[in-house]
Every structure is written in C-alpha cells, then in structure tokens.
Structure 1
C-alpha cells in the first residue's frame, strides 16, 4: 500500500503529539520510543518525497503541520530540560572516574 506524503506528515505530527504527552507525564522511555518512531517516519517521508510532489494546497497544510510539530518539539525540550540536567548531574562525578 502506497502512502501519500501528507499521510507521513500527519503521522509525524500525531507521533510528535504523543511524544509531548509522554513528556508531560514524565514518561521519558515513551518519549524516546516515539522519537524513534518519528525517525522511521521521517526516513520513509524522505524516500517517498523523491517520487511524489505536493500540490499547492498540500504545501500549505504541510506548513501548518510543521508549525505544530515545531511547537510540540519546543514544549518537549522545555519539559525535558530538568530531566536532562538531572542526568548530566548524575554523570558529572563518573566522567572524572573514567579518565
């Protein structure tokens, strides 16, 4: 079954929304899992975009979808910053012990 490019953009948007929900729930394993799913979808989109073109109306929808994905990403980063700082702090002493 062949998917249209818009199917991929919508799937990426949906997955990014699930990623944001996982981040809000502090489910960092879920965030990583959805991030992996996004990566797969993006690769499939890249492959399909070599063979398909978007119509002008689809390009406008794509732009709206991309804006929502970027907003989700910004919110995920804001939510993840304290967690990332905590992880970095946990490894601060270990990095010296490894050298």
Structure 2
C-alpha cells in the first residue's frame, strides 16, 4: 500500500505500463482492468493529496513519472484506435472492417 504521495504516482505508472503491454498484445480486457486499477489509484492519490504534501525532493520524479504516463497513454490510444473503430461499427450495427 502506498504510504507517501510519490508511491501513488509510482503505482499509477506501473499500472499504466501494464496497460500499455496489454494493449500491445491486444488484450483489451486486461487494458480495461488496468484502467480500472488506475482510476482507483488516482482517487486514492486525490484523497491523500488533501492529507499530505508531496515532498520537495519528489517533485522532479513526479514530473518524470507524469511524462511517462502521458507517453504510455498516447501509445495506448494509437493501439486502441482500430479496436475502437470496430467497436463503434458493432454498436452502429455495421459489420466490422477487418485490417
């Protein structure tokens, strides 16, 4: 269980890394599970951020972690685009286009 705020950022980054690996494998169920884990960790981080401050020596590390999370997110979105297009077609009742 994370104790310091930086630990929450690290845990979110780890979940983001797992999400990216699952997206590379096209394991969309695992992507969604990791996304749920990230959402829980983010809520816990928000709560803890109201209880304690990020230590000054962790601010640069937080910035690096956030950059890596954003890069992971961008890669996941690129990988998910074809899957999302097929999903949208299914919702609209159109046969999916296979690539």
TM over 0.5: yes
Q: Larger Cα Rg: Structure 1 or Structure 2?
A: 1
For CA contacts below 8 A with separation 6 or more, give which structure has more relative contact order: 1
Counterparts of 1:91 and 1:23 in 2: how far apart (Å)? Answer: 21
Counterparts of 2:68 and 2:61 in 1: how far apart (Å)? Answer: 11
TM normalised by structure 1 equals: 0.90
Q: List structure 1 segments (4+ residues) > 6 angstroms apart after TM superposition.
A: none
Secondary structure of 2:54's counterpart equals coil
Secondary structure of 1:26's counterpart equals coil
TM normalised by structure 2 equals: 0.90
1:4 aligned partner: 4
1:97 aligned partner: none
Give, in angstroms, the shift of residue 6 of structure 1.
Answer: 0.7
1:74 aligned partner: 74
Deviates more, 1:32-41 or 1:53-62: 53-62
The structure whose residues are more often helix, as a share, is: 1
Where in structure 2 are the equivalents of 1:1-99 lying within 5 Å? Answer: 3-93=3-93
Count how many residue pairs are aligned between Structure 1 and Structure 2: 94
Counterparts of 2:46 and 2:3 in 1: how far apart (Å)? Answer: 12
Please give the per-residue CA displacement for 1:14-39, whole angstroms capped at 9, x wherever unaligned: 00000000000000000000000000
Please give the per-residue CA displacement for 1:69-92, whole angstroms capped at 9, x wherever unaligned: 000000000000000000111121
